[in-house]
Amino acid sequence: MDLRKQVQEKIDNKTKPVSSLGLLETIALKVAMVQQTPEPEIRQPHVVVFAGDHGIAKTGLVNPYPAYVTAAMVHNFMAGGAAINVFCRQHQLGLTIVDAGVDADLSRYHGNPSFIDAKIARGTNNYQFEAAMSFAEMERAIGAGAFIVKEIAKRGTNTIAFGEMGIGNSSAASLLMSTIMRLPLSRTVGKGTGANSAQLAQKRSTLQEVLDQHEAICQLNSPLKSLQYFGGYEIAMMAGAYLGARESNLVIVVDGFIASAALLVAHAIQPAVLDNCIFGHCSGELGHHAILHYLDAQPLLNIGLRLGEGTGAALAIPLVQSAVAFQREMAGMETLVSANQERLEA
């Protein structure tokens, strides 16, 4: 009997009606197939948050919060005061913060085991006028993300999630989504970090001008060129992290809009990465539902989250743990048959 059939029969034979645990049953089967065992387990689940600044954020045209908030939030992460810190503490998840390209001196955290200095540069270029990064910088970021994840895997982690911090990165994600999925900005650009109606209109107008400016690049239909021109270092590093997680055969719990935009790039490079992915939630951001549909993904949660940081994935990991736990520990129907036989013979 092949492994998929063996695991599915084990799930169906639990002391419950078939399919009555819904999506948890799908997740249990998926984890078993990733790990290639009928007895899967979740070990040392870990969240990695990549932080980076975007050149366009300094203009204020696409973001209601000032660019310096990226660095301020990294300080908050390191002090343990952000939402992702709270959820990781609550659910006993490992947490690593990565400086992918923050426009600030974060050397005070060097040597802290929860912090990785992988800074490519102090923020990207303003993609209104030029590519956000050079092709070489993009390749360095992708490689760094893959390396970071492989090192975490060596310490015993077999389940990982990625978050991000970067003022203006919902705009970068919208541009990536638009160019990779060939969608108009009206379907990809949302409010991001709380823009009002006037700010949203300005954001859409600005980003349309960006696409018009780089029309030749957009026509190439190349995910890597799109990443080079419109991405952030944190998004490029996250794309590499997905690839590294696939190579290390980790279970990947995908966060929201920005994380899914990075996955679009990784998927274009290595389509098989989806075999390792469980989608944590459907974001409240406009374009996320379309990405989930494009990737044929069914998220575990839909509670209106739009924060980023990996928070949706952190909240979903306990559900993944529950899926694996019932598959490993729940009694099978033969237990009921045996108990009933003993009662009849008594």
Q: Residue 47 region, left (φ>0) first, then alpha (ψ -120 to 50), else beta?
A: beta
CA distance 341 to 346: 9
For residue 120, give both structure tokens.
Answer: 């490519």
CA distance 250 to 288: 23
Helix axes 257-269, 223-230, angle to 10 degrees: 140
CA distance 7 to 259: 30
* Set 309, 329, 334, 345: catalytic member: 309
On the 0-12 / 13-18 / 19+ scale of CB atoms within 10 A, 272 is: exposed
* Non-local CB neighbours of 179 within 8 Å, separated by 6+ positions: 211, 218, 221, 223, 226, 230
Asked if 309 is an active-site residue, the reply is yes
Residue with tokens 């290639």: 36
Catalytic residues: 309
